[in-house]
Amino acid sequence: MKSRSLVAIDQIDKQELLDLLARAQYFEAHPNSKILDGKVVATLFFEPSTRTRLSFETAVNRLGGRVIGFSDASTSSTSKGETLKDTIKMVSNYADIIVMRHFIEGAAQYATEVTDVPIVNAGDGANQHPSQTLLDLYSILKTQGTLEGLTITMVGDLKYGRTVHSLLMAMRHFKPVFNFVSSDELRMPQEYLDVCEREGIEYHLHTEFSEDIINSSDILYMTRVQRERFSDVMEYEKVKNLYTLHNAMLDGSKPTLRILHPLPRVNEISTDVDDNPKAYYFEQARNGVFARQAILTRALGIDPLKL
Amino acid sequence: MTSSKKELAVAALRNGTVIDHIPSRALFTAVRILGIEGLDTSVTIGNNLASERLGSKGIIKVADVEFAEDVLNRIALIAPDAMVNIIRDYEVVEKRHVSLPDTLVGIVRCSNPKCVTNHEKIPTRFIVSGHGADVRLRCHYCNHTVSGAEAATIQ
Ligand SMILES: [Zn+2]
């Protein structure tokens, strides 16, 4: 079986996405096993991200694999000026697979070019974060029972938010209808609207976060609106509260609506939403372990469904 | 020698390559991309010559060298109208335009300061899409995308 790196979600086709989701489903039913027994997984976090690292390391531990690595570049040889290439080459001698996060964009792609050990991108700056997208996809599948023909409303920072871009690219296989809700300054970039045009995907741009939009949605995907994204502070002050979800706004929504958020949130989802059964963002993170078990086994060429 | 004869001596090429219709501002970049500084055959470079189409153009004549097509195509981004003439025994035996390859390796710098190509010693790689004025270059590493016109100014 082939072992394969995962750098970006749009490098894999619909069939492979479905294969990964089937694996995630399997691991949710069978979270603990020994199928990574004897495997060494390196987690190289050149940029700290406790949330993502713990999720990956839990995924490995529950499958019986071992973890080596570092959680912060200051404790690694990078701080002594070692190049990324040299670090990857060195670790390749020890590990069966490398999970890496880096603030440098394109770092994971480059890593695949200097080693034969499969690379899993756990985030490279503002560029790609495919395990986040897979867990989003798995959360949608799990809560809706299908990925096909859903109305997905993305709210907040649609310009810089890499999670919404990757989710759009992954969902494009499943005939969605998109609502893009943001201020003009943070609207969905043209290249992604072009993708929708090319693929014949219906989409609507909104600046107002109205109940009509919420009521038509199957998934509400909320993102953080960060002050530093605005060239004009006044503009930020004007829009910062326009894209906040409050519990009262959900009164007319579909019973099956679920609210997702990549976390951590700031104030874009009011805490009064947390107890609403439609709030799914805390469980969403839990799905990350299954999604990462799926990614790790695929990269290592281990098929849990055929063991 | 009269001045007209001198001009002729420079202009006439027995064997080699003439690259014409290079925008003046791109001439020396083209010289660098093609590695012409390293050649020891006779090279003639003219710049700021009158051109109806470009206003002002440059021209490169290299004796006894025929460049590979993929080498010449490396200047297509900065000199999209460049015309290549292959000369053999004083005759133009081939005349063609340069054309932009599907990927551009090691020519354009990535303008994203956080891109790995600006931190590690690796040649840049851009995926080219679109045509003419709509050419877009996407970085193979960081996915940062620029128009062809923007990219042509980043060296
Ligand atoms: Zn780049």
DSSP lists the bridge partners of residue B58 as B22
d(CA A298, CA B122) in angstroms, rounded, equals 29
Q: What is the CA radius of gyration of chain A?
A: 20
Q: Which of A84, A105, A128 sits opposite B115 (nearest CB)?
A: A105
For chain A, percent of residues with pLDDT exceeding 70:
97
Q: Would you state the pLDDT for residue B9? A: 45
Q: Would you state the pLDDT for residue B38? A: 92
Whether residue B114 and residue A128 make contact (CB cut-off 8 A), yes or no, is no
Q: Would you state the pLDDT for residue A67? A: 98
Which H or E run includes A258? strand A258-260
> Is pLDDT at A281 greater than 70 in this prediction?
yes
For residue A51, indicate whether it is catalytic.
Answer: yes
Q: Would you state the pLDDT for residue B8? A: 44
The mean-pLDDT minimum among A45-59, A71-85, A123-137 falls in A71-85
- The residues, ordered by sequence, that sit 6+ positions from A212 with a Cβ below 8 Å of its Cβ are none
**Chain A partners of B115 at a C-beta cutoff of 8 Å?**
104-106
In whole angstroms, what separates CA A22 from the centre of its chain? 17
What is the distance in A from the centroid of ligand 1 to the CA of B150?
14
- Chain B touched by A125 (CB under 8 Å): yes
For residue A146, indicate whether it is catalytic.
Answer: no
Q: Would you state the pLDDT for residue B6? A: 46
- Chain B touched by A104 (CB under 8 Å): yes
Residue ranges for chain B with pLDDT beneath 70? 1-11, 153-155
- Residue A37 in tokens: 């027994």
- What is the interface pTM, i.e. ipTM, of the complex? 0.88
> What count of CB pairs under 8 Å joins A to B?
44
**Chain B partners of A103 at a C-beta cutoff of 8 Å?**
114
Which H or E run includes A97? strand A97-102
Whether residue B144 and residue A105 make contact (CB cut-off 8 A), yes or no, is yes
d(CA A201, CA A207) in angstroms, rounded, equals 20
Q: Would you state the pLDDT for residue A2? A: 52
- The residues, ordered by sequence, that sit 6+ positions from A167 with a Cβ below 8 Å of its Cβ are A133, A136, A137, A152, A154, A221
d(CA A114, CA A104) in angstroms, rounded, equals 16
> Is pLDDT at A76 greater than 80 in this prediction?
no
**Chain B partners of A104 at a C-beta cutoff of 8 Å?**
114-116, 119
- The residues, ordered by sequence, that sit 6+ positions from A62 with a Cβ below 8 Å of its Cβ are A31, A32, A33, A289, A293
Using alpha carbons, select from B19, B22, B14 the residue that is nearest to residue B41: B14
A304 — pLDDT class (breaks 50, 70, 90): confident
Helix axes A281-300, A14-29, angle to 10 degrees: 110
Query: What are chain A's domains?
Result: 9-128+288-306 (3.40.50.1370), 130-285 (3.40.50.1370)
Q: Would you state the pLDDT for residue B53? A: 82
Helix axes A50-62, A130-144, angle to 10 degrees: 70
Query: Mutation test of the interface with chain A: which of B143, B146, B147, choosing the one with the most A Cβ atoms within 10 A?
Result: B143
pLDDT in tens, A23-54: 999 999 999 999 999 999 999 999 999 999 99
Residue type, A196: C
Strands (E), B1-112: 16-23, 43-51, 55-63, 83-88, 91-97, 103-105
The residue that leads in pLDDT, B76 or A216, is A216
d(CA A171, CA A210) in angstroms, rounded, equals 23
**Which strands, in side-by-side order, build the sheet including B16-23?**
B43-51, B55-63, B16-23, B83-88, B91-97
Give the residue-averaged pLDDT of A225-240.
83
For residue A80, indicate whether it is catalytic.
Answer: yes
